[in-house]
């Protein structure tokens, strides 16, 4: 079996499962945010439920429109707060303690290798970077899961992606996944597990791995997953709040498709409007002027990402026609950024540094685009109207490119900064 099949089998009480099989799996964690949890809470109550299956395994995180941007978002967040108090949920994270959900949960050791996790947010697939099976579901599925602690799945077929070669400077996990989506398209892995492997993956930090799995959904994947190893062990050993288990694919495991990539000499990649599959090397879009640069989100808001952007922008100034917004994904990342002097670097350069939030990623707040404006961002989607006006444009890139572009006033690379 593949790693995905092994984890699902272990959670449904079977010795083995096969692609296409329908199973009922026990869940290690159920997740929802301030946009999706209110629907789940309403359905929970409509079902006549009076208690959750386990108050230690339901995480409610207000991160999308929080800190509250208006009355409607305040009411949404208040529903999470009230429900969490009613059911004594230990994993409710209030503003000031919260972070962007998919960065916060691994950092806090609340998701561990071998877990099965569902979340009412499509980027729940992030946790595959730890060697867990995680996937996004609808809010009604979360309501049922909060009651029963279980969810049903169709076991997905698995695609294997093998990456060879040495990455160039300023090239990382974001570029690997953009290159992959550019190759197979936004439906190229529809309801399939995407298993990422090869020498280039083995050398990636946990931050890079989480970034890759985060965007599996952008290729239509059911989940993204990377086999855990020594790097995983080092990351989770000091964090894990529960016992964890490393699963690995069998050498004779069956894959619906295997794709190989040689990443040697690959440039940073940029996804152009209006789909994550519209990927070009950065050199092909160097004539595109920008109005805004954003570093942050569940894709690239970790301390490694903030450091990378700071290293590029240090000693430079944000272009006078550009707004640069830097959003650490969690409070811990924020504190570390202060400790390392990164906040000073950004502010001295003329950038805004924010409290943790999803913010502009989904057109929420703190960076909405006007008609005709263009943004380069480390977020994960660039659909029409994703970050504001339907007449704006969003370009996806890694933190180094986003930072360099903020200085240049157009899309470019760190090498271009004098």
Query: Tens digits of per-residue pLDDT, 64-111?
Result: 999 999 999 999 999 999 999 999 999 999 999 999 999 999 999 999
Closest CA to 205 of 108, 305, 137, 77: 305
Q: Give pLDDT, residue 418.
A: 75
- 144: tokens are 């049922």
Q: Give pLDDT, residue 254.
A: 96
Q: Give pLDDT, residue 178.
A: 98
Note whether 61 and 90 are within 8 A (CB).
no
DSSP string, 29-88: EEEEETTTHHHHHHHHHHTT--S-S-TTSEEEE--SSTTT-SHHHHHHHHHHHHHHHHTT
**pLDDT(5) > 80:** yes
Query: Tens digits of per-residue pLDDT, 372-392?
Result: 999 999 999 999 999 999 999
Task: Identify the three-state secondary structure at position 281.
Answer: strand
d(C-alpha 294, C-alpha 45), whole Å: 39
- 415: tokens are 């090498």
Task: Go through the domains of the chain in sequence order and give each one's CATH number.
Answer: 3-260 (3.30.499.10), 269-412 (3.30.499.10)
Q: What mean pLDDT is reported for the chain?
A: 97
Q: Give pLDDT, residue 241.
A: 94
Q: Give pLDDT, residue 229.
A: 97
**pLDDT(2) > 80:** yes
Q: Give φ, ψ of 51 to 5 degrees.
A: -150, 155
- 319: tokens are 């272009």
d(C-alpha 74, C-alpha 187), whole Å: 35
Proportion of the chain above pLDDT 70, given as a percent: 100
d(C-alpha 272, C-alpha 374), whole Å: 11
Tell me whether the omega of the peptide bond preceding residue 148 falls within 30 degrees of 0, making it cis: no
Q: Give pLDDT, residue 297.
A: 96
């Amino acid at each position: 079996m593949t790693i995905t099949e092994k984890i699902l089998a272990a959670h449904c009480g079977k010795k083995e499962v096969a692609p296409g099989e329908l199973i009922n799996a026990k869940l290690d964690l159920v997740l929802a945010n301030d946009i999706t949890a209110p629907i789940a809470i309403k359905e929970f109550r409509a079902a006549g439920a009076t208690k959750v299956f386990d108050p230690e395994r339901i995480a409610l995180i207000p991160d999308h429109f929080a800190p509250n941007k208006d009355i409607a978002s305040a009411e949404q967040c208040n529903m999470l707060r009230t429900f969490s108090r009613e059911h004594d949920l230990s994993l409710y994270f209030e503003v000031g303690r919260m972070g962007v959900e998919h960065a916060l949960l691994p950092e806090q050791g609340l998701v561990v290798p071998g877990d099965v996790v569902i979340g009412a947010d499509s980027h729940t697939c992030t946790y595959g970077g730890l060697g867990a099976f995680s996937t996004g579901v609808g809010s009604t599925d979360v309501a049922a899961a909060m009651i029963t602690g279980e969810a049903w799945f169709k076991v997905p077929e698995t695609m294997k992606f093998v990456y060879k070669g040495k990455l160039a400077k300023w090239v990382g996990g974001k570029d690997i996944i953009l290159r992959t989506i550019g190759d197979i398209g936004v439906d190229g892995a529809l309801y399939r597990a995407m298993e990422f492997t090869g020498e280039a993956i083995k050398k990636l930090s946990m931050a890079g791995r989480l970034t890759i799995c985060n965007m599996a959904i952008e290729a239509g994947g059911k989940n993204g997953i990377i086999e855990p190893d020594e790097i995983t062990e080092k990351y989770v050993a000091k964090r894990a709040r529960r016992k964890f288990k490393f699963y690995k694919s069998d050498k004779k495991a069956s894959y619906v498709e295997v794709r190989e990539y040689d990443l040697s000499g690959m440039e940073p990649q940029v996804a152009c409007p209006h789909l994550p599959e519209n990927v070009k090397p950065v050199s092909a879009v160097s004539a595109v002027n920008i109005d805004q640069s954003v570093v942050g989100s569940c894709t690239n808001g970790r301390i490694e990402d903030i450091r990378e952007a700071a290293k590029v922008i240090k000693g430079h100034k944000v272009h006078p026609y550009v707004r640069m917004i830097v959003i650490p994904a969690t409070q811990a990342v924020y504190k570390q950024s202060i400790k390392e002097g990164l906040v000073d670097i950004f502010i001295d350069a003329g950038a805004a540094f924010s409290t943790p939030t999803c913010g502009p990623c989904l057109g929420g707040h703190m960076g909405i685009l006007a008609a005709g404006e263009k943004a380069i961002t480390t977020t994960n989607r660039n659909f029409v109207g994703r970050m504001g006006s339907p007449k704006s444009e969003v370009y996806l890139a890694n933190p180094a490119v986003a930072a360099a572009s903020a200085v240049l006033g157009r899309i470019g690379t760190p090498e271009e900064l004098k």
